[in-house]
Amino acid sequence: MRIGIIGAGQMARALGGGWAAAGHEIALGARTSARAEAAAAAIGHGAKATTVAEAVAFGETTLLALPVSALEEVLTEHRETLTGRTLIDCTNAFAPDAGGFKLSEPAVAERIAATVPGARVVKAFNLLAAEVWAGPERVFEGRPLTVPLCGDDAEAVATVAGLAEDLKLRPVPAGDLARARYLEATSAFVVGLWFAGHDARAMFPPLESAFAVADD
């Protein structure tokens, strides 16, 4: 698949590196050619360094690997080209403060869908750090790493599920795009715990122990 990546930072490299290694064609668009070239070189496997406009035009699927503050400008400028495309939203609107991490804005994924009404937005990959997505480990404590996906378009969700599988991850459809707000809130909450040095994973028992009484 042709994947356009907008942004040249940690998430662009982490996810782009895995998809390029899985055989996808990558065009990485950044504000400056030097940044695009450095990120494309880090991704390797023939990833192309382009302008933002060229990456948008290239991608059958587009990863928005941008700070939330940049989205409105980029999406508005490229709205026409992005209409009908699958857009992967991995962003988090974090406002770090003394108490941990708080959401600084309303649900980002829904705002993206409102800014580009024809785009097929899928929220994914926002829960974990770029290092985890880039790392070699895909199974922790015997459990495959699961990626929840939220979106309104079943075909786009299936596309992103396939891209998660290409990274040796286990995709799980997790409801419509309105539920992305819970993914965004979960990320703020859990990352706050991790930064405070707590084992967020220990909050949850395994599935078989999650309910005292099984539902019929």
Ligand X SMILES: NC(=O)c1ccc[n+]([C@@H]2O[C@H](COP(=O)([O-])OP(=O)(O)OC[C@H]3O[C@@H](n4cnc5c(N)ncnc54)[C@H](OP(=O)(O)O)[C@@H]3O)[C@@H](O)[C@H]2O)c1
Is the CB of 151 or the CB of 207 nearer to ligand X?
A: 151
Q: Is 61 in the site for ligand X (CB under 6 A)?
A: no
Between CA 174 and CA 181 the distance in angstroms is: 12
Is the CB of 120 or the CB of 184 nearer to ligand X?
A: 184
Q: Is 10 in the site for ligand X (CB under 6 A)?
A: yes
Q: Which residue in 21, 41, 95, 129 binds ligand X (CB under 6 A)?
A: 129
Q: Is 86 in the site for ligand X (CB under 6 A)?
A: no
Q: Is 70 in the site for ligand X (CB under 6 A)?
A: yes
Binding window for ligand X (CB under 6 A); candidates: 85-93, 114-122, 143-151, 170-178:
85-93
Q: Which residue in 130, 160, 167, 180 binds ligand X (CB under 6 A)?
A: 130
In the complex, minimum distance from the CB of residue 32 to ligand X, in angstroms, rounded to a whole number: 6
* Residue numbers 27-46 binding ligand X by CB under 6 A: 30-32, 35
Q: Is 102 in the site for ligand X (CB under 6 A)?
A: no
Between CA 46 and CA 25 the distance in angstroms is: 8
Interface residues toward ligand X, by CB under 6 A: 7-12, 30-32, 35, 52, 65-68, 70, 73-74, 90-92, 126, 129-130
